[in-house]
Amino acid sequence: MPGLSIAREAAVLVSFISLFWLYGQSRKHEKRIAPKELGRLLAWAFAVLAAVVLLSTISGITTRPAENGARESSAIVILVGTVSSISLVALASFVLLIVRELVLFKRRQGTKRSLLIYELLLASTSLSAILTLPFQQAFVGSILFTLTVLFAVVISFRQNWIVYLSRREKIYALVYSGLLFALFVLLNVVLAENTLGNKALTAFSRPLQSYVQLNAVLGAIYFGMAFVSTLFHLPTAEVYERKQSELNSLHNLSRLITQVFDFNDLVNMVTQMTMEVCGARSAWLEIIDTNEATGEMNIQVVSRKNINQEDVAAFSDAESNSMRHMLLESKAVMMVDDVWNDRRTRFLKDRGKLKGSLLSVPLVSHDKLMGVLYASKQIEYGFDQDDVEVLTTFADNVTIAIENSRLIVRSIERERLQQEMLVAQRMQQRLLPQTVPQHPSLDIAATSVSSLEVGGDYYDFVSLPNEQLGIVVGDVSGKGVSAAFYMAEVKGVFLSLSKICTTSKQLLDLANQSLMESLERKAFISLIYGVLDLKTGSLNVSRAGHCPLVFVSEDKQELIRPNGLGLGLTNRQVFSQTTEERIILLKKNDVCVFYTDGVTESQNGSQEEFGYSRLLEATRQARMDTANEIKNRILNSIHEFTGTSSYGDDMTLVVIKWLGA
Partner 1 sequence: MNEFKIHHREGDGVNVMELRGYLDAHTAPDLESAFQKLLNEKKYNIIVNCKDLSYISSAGLGVFMAYIEDVRKQAGDIKLTNMTPKVYNVFDLLGFPILYEIYKDEHDAVSKFHEGKKSSTV
Q: Which residues make up the interface to partner 1 (CB under 8 A)?
A: 456, 475, 477-479, 521-524, 526, 545-548, 563-566, 569-570, 574, 578, 597, 607, 609
Three-state DSSP class for 603? strand
CB closer to partner 1, 194 vs 607: 607
What minimum distance in Å lies between the beta carbon of 523 and partner 1? Answer: 6
Residue 123's CB is within 10 A of a number of other CB atoms, namely 17
What minimum distance in Å lies between the beta carbon of 578 and partner 1? Answer: 5
What minimum distance in Å lies between the beta carbon of 565 and partner 1? Answer: 3
What minimum distance in Å lies between the beta carbon of 566 and partner 1? Answer: 4
Residue 444's CB is within 10 A of a number of other CB atoms, namely 20
- The answer to whether the beta carbons of residues 230 and 167 sit under 8 Å apart is no
What minimum distance in Å lies between the beta carbon of 622 and partner 1? Answer: 25
What minimum distance in Å lies between the beta carbon of 488 and partner 1? Answer: 18
Q: Which residues contact 182 (CB under 8 A, 6 or more apart)?
A: none
Distance CA 179, CA 226 (A): 11
CB closer to partner 1, 401 vs 569: 569
- The answer to whether the beta carbons of residues 192 and 213 sit under 8 Å apart is no
Distance CA 108, CA 123 (A): 24
What minimum distance in Å lies between the beta carbon of 486 and partner 1? Answer: 11
CB closer to partner 1, 338 vs 609: 609
DSSP one-letter string for 509-568: HHHHHHHHHHS-TT--EEEEEEEEETTTTEEEEEEEBPPPEEEE-SS-EEEE------BT
Say how many residues make up the chain: 661
What minimum distance in Å lies between the beta carbon of 570 and partner 1? Answer: 6
What minimum distance in Å lies between the beta carbon of 561 and partner 1? Answer: 8
State which H helix or E strand residue 60 sits in. Answer: helix 34-63
CB closer to partner 1, 37 vs 475: 475
What minimum distance in Å lies between the beta carbon of 599 and partner 1? Answer: 13
CB closer to partner 1, 85 vs 642: 642
Identify the sign of the CA torsion 136, 142, 144, 145.
positive
DSSP lists the bridge partners of residue 591 as: 552, 657
CB closer to partner 1, 267 vs 569: 569
CA distances from 346 to 273, 286, 384 (A): 27, 20, 21
CA distances from 41 to 122, 156, 396 (A): 20, 17, 45
- The answer to whether the beta carbons of residues 216 and 126 sit under 8 Å apart is no
Residue type, 70: A
CB closer to partner 1, 24 vs 478: 478
What minimum distance in Å lies between the beta carbon of 520 and partner 1? Answer: 8
CB closer to partner 1, 124 vs 603: 603
CB closer to partner 1, 353 vs 614: 614
CB closer to partner 1, 362 vs 456: 456
CB closer to partner 1, 439 vs 479: 479
Side-chain-side CA neighbours of 52 within 13 Å: the count stands at 28
Q: Which of 198, 174, 211 is nearest to 96 (CA)?
A: 211
Distance CA 47, CA 55 (A): 12
What minimum distance in Å lies between the beta carbon of 513 and partner 1? Answer: 16
CB closer to partner 1, 169 vs 475: 475
Residue 100's CB is within 10 A of a number of other CB atoms, namely 16
State which H helix or E strand residue 290 sits in. Answer: strand 282-290
Q: Which residues contact 598 (CB under 8 A, 6 or more apart)?
A: 451, 457, 647, 648, 649, 650, 651, 652
